[in-house]
Structure 1
Amino acid sequence: MAKLNQRVWNNSSLTEKTRLCVYQACILSTLLYGSETWTTYARHERKLNSFHMRCLRRILQIKWQDRVPNTEVLERANMSTLHAVLSERRLRWLGHVKRMDAGRIPKDLLYGELVEGQSQADDRPAWRHTVRQGALCAEAERNENATQKRRRKQREQQLQQKPSAFTCTKCGRNCHSQVGLHSHSRLCK
């Protein structure tokens, strides 16, 4: 990511779409090389996803002060979380192994304990479609859960907040300190 600072990320002549394409082609493909066979823990996936989100925010020029949720960042970039990407890659690999000839080592290892596999994996286009739809459904459910969690947290914060003496005269925002009010009033329009 750092090696492409001058050429891509800080280059004003490139569009966002081009930067995102370069990110997918160079950064994500390198980051996730061989991820189909990784055994990851939840903390590994969280770290990968946070790196992914930091990169997207940098490409889209969204600062943390803008308080834009991850779901909106992913929507603007027209991408999925790395959780969904990893799941999709693993399922595609399983479909590939299922279609292998008998006697191949990956297939023997996968089916060593199993009697039957899924018959749907034999048809590659149908399997890819099923995997993509499953990943999209899981992503939509994850986004909905994140949105609900964010709303609950905001409601709890609103209930706990007491009215402040430091309220913006322009927008009515409670700043809870004189320094916060001063900082907010410089940016409030």
Structure 2
Amino acid sequence: LTIKTKMLVYKACVLRRANLPSVTALLKQKRLRWLGHLSRLEDGRIPKDMLHGELSEGIRTIGRPKLRYKDTLKAFGIDPDQWETLAGDQNRWRQYLHQGIKVHDRNWLQRLQEKRVCGKQAAPESPNHDTYACNHGHGSCKSRIGLFSHMRHCKP
């Protein structure tokens, strides 16, 4: 690839040159491949029961919930309501996963591009620093919170 670490090259460019999918897409593909194996297992096997089981008690932890298989299926463009019938045919399931990795990376690259465009847009103008002047005429502050701090200690 002749890309040196000193060269500032975007991830997307490196992946495009190498003709490789992203690491997150590969990990999600492996996860969905395992999901296909689970769907083809006979009923009563522990891994399949764990997949379809629900907790009878417990509390959800604070923060963002962990990603589910359903989220990974959606990222690959597979309908979460019909994945079991699709996974029943192993060859067709592999085709869906290979197509899905392209869909995932296309959407991922598009989101990266949108972030880059938003970051390069002009920042909103900061307020005039003269607006944060001391009421007692002892100078001005660069921020409103700085003015509050100054006013606590300012002697008239």
Q: TM-score range by the shorter chain?
A: 0.5 to 0.7
Match of 1:143 in 2: 109
Corresponding letter in the other structure for 2:120: Q
2:8 is the alignment partner of 1:67: yes
Structure 2 unaligned segments of length 5 or more: list them. 55-81, 126-156
Corresponding letter in the other structure for 2:29: E
Q: Report which stretch shifted further, 146-155 or 125-134.
A: 146-155
With over 3 angstroms needed to count, the CA separation of the structure-2 counterparts of 1:156 and 1:67, relative to structure 1, is farther
> Paired residues, what number?
98
Distance 1:67 1:154 in 2: 16
Q: Could you say which structure has the higher helix fraction?
A: 1
With over 3 angstroms needed to count, the CA separation of the structure-2 counterparts of 1:137 and 1:107, relative to structure 1, is same
Distance 1:136 1:73 in 2: 16
With over 3 angstroms needed to count, the CA separation of the structure-2 counterparts of 1:117 and 1:74, relative to structure 1, is closer
Distance 2:97 2:2 in 1: 32
Distance 2:20 2:29 in 1: 13
Aligned pairs for 1:158-173 within 5 A: none
Aligned pairs for 1:23-62 within 5 A: 60-62=1-3
2:67 is the alignment partner of 1:101: no
Residues 21, 101 of structure 2: 8 Å contact kept: no
What TM-score, normalized by structure 1, do the two folds share? 0.45
Distance 1:68 1:117 in 2: 37
Corresponding letter in the other structure for 2:36: G
Match of 2:63 in 1: none
What TM-score, normalized by structure 2, do the two folds share? 0.54
With over 3 angstroms needed to count, the CA separation of the structure-2 counterparts of 1:72 and 1:140, relative to structure 1, is same
Three-state SS of the structure 2 residue aligned to 1:66 is coil
2:75 is the alignment partner of 1:134: no
Structure 1 unaligned segments of length 5 or more: list them. 1-59, 161-189
Work out which of the residue numbers 19, 22, 26 in structure 2 matches 1:85.
Answer: 26
Distance 2:6 2:120 in 1: 17
Match of 1:120 in 2: 86
